[in-house]
Amino acid sequence: MKRRFRKLQPSKFDIMRKTTLIITLLCAISLNTRAQDFRSQLRQIANDLAKQIEAKGKKRVVSASFLDLKNQETDLGRYMSDKFSIGLASSSLEITDRSQLAQLLLDNKLGADRILDPKTIPTLGKITGAEVIIIGNYTALDNSVDITVKAIDLERGLRIAIAEGIVARTSEINKLLSEVSSIDSDAPTTSTGTKLPTDTKLPKPSADCITKNTCVICAKNNSSLPIEVKRGYIGGDQDHRDLLIYTSETKCWQNVWIGTNNDYFKFTVSFFQNEARVKQEVVNVRACEVKLITFNK
């Protein structure tokens, strides 16, 4: 006699367990793929920049931390800079990495915030022995991070190469972003670099200020009389739009273009009362920065 076996149907618990296992495996594969994409995309940006630097006949480079939109140094910027340096290692360039640069700055009593200062750039070449410094900026988007990396000739202070790319956001990046978001990095600065109170009502830079290379310049009148403010480029285009600012009032020039080949913008701000110039100030400002110049007379 043949026995008949009834085919057992999987229980709902078994189905749920298998489904959960499949989803977990797919998530793990997805995260691993995104991590690989992040590294490969960052390597591609590094390779692109390295080829441009080599084409200029440069060999010795130093890599700084990547900065956020406010030119602030963050853990995320340091993380991406380290991974970027690994990508540069496949080139023929001689690389001084971020940690070595930080120690050199400390030894020479220079702050990291002075890396882009035109007065500091020649000094960086001397203390690092490098010909070029690599500086990156990043913008966090919904599912990715937009990165722009520039190479600055330390002898002339001019940009000689630029590379851009978008890398996928990974769990590591998301964790670092959540930590960064708790830090107040939105406070604008005065022309001397001092952070302003967070309640200072000044416009924020545009979301595309890195790619368009623009900044915000503001002037405040602390005097008892109205002032007329005029701004002029040094070595660039002229902006003839003047500002009439009354007592205790602040007005701004927004989306000020720094220039195609410039990494900072040197400009003059002149204050006039009764058509006579009573003060003039020369200020440097970088992409995505908010600069406030105050008239106190």
SS (H, E, C) 56-125: CCCCEEEECCCECCCCCECHHHHHHHHHHHHHHCCCCCEEECHHHHHHHHHHCCCCHHHCCCCCCHHHHH
Are 151 and 43 members of one domain? yes
> pTM for the full model?
0.52
SS (H, E, C) the chain: CCCCCCCCCCCHHHHHHHHHHHHHHHHHHHHHHHHHHHHHHHHHHHHHHHHHHHHCCCCEEEECCCECCCCCECHHHHHHHHHHHHHHCCCCCEEECHHHHHHHHHHCCCCHHHCCCCCCHHHHHHHHCCCEEEEEEEEECCCEEEEEEEEEECCCCCEEEEEEEEEECCHHHHHHHHHHCCCCCCCCEECCCCECCCCCCCCCCCCCHHHHCEEEEEEEECCCCCEEEEEEECCCCCCCCCEEECCCCEEEEEEEECCCCCCCEEEEEEEEECCEEEEEEEEEECCCCEEEEEECC
Q: What is the CATH number of the domain that holds 24?
A: 3.40.50.10610
Query: Residue 183: how many CB atoms within 10 A of its CB?
Result: 11
Are 40 and 89 members of one domain? yes
In sign, the C-alpha dihedral spanning 197, 142, 75, 118 is negative
pLDDT of residue 3: 55
- Does 4 map to a domain? no
**Which residue, 65, 102, 95, 59, is CA-closest to 82?**
65
Are 206 and 283 members of one domain? yes
**Which of residues 141, 158, 180 is at a domain's end?**
180
- Tokens 């290692």 -> residue: 89
**Which of residues 180, 208, 241 is at a domain's end?**
180
State how many domains the chain has. Answer: 2
* Per-residue pLDDT in tens (0 to 9) along the chain, 297 residues: 555 545 555 565 565 565 555 554 544 444 444 445 778 888 899 999 999 999 999 999 988 888 887 777 777 888 888 888 888 888 889 988 777 777 777 677 666 556 767 777 778 888 888 999 998 888 888 888 899 999 999 888 888 999 998 888 888 788 777 655 443 334 455 444 445 544 457 888 887 777 777 888 888 898 888 899 988 754 444 445 788 998 888 888 888 887 766 666 777 888 888 888 888 887 778 778 888 888 886
pLDDT of residue 58: 93
Are 233 and 272 members of one domain? yes
Are 78 and 201 members of one domain? no
Range of the domain at 149: 15-180
Are 174 and 284 members of one domain? no
**Which residue, 227, 180, 204, is CA-closest to 291?**
204
Q: What is the CATH number of the domain that holds 279?
A: 2.60.40.1120
* Rounded CA separation 6/128 (Å): 78
pLDDT of residue 30: 42
- Does 281 map to a domain? yes
Are 166 and 207 members of one domain? no
- Does 45 map to a domain? yes
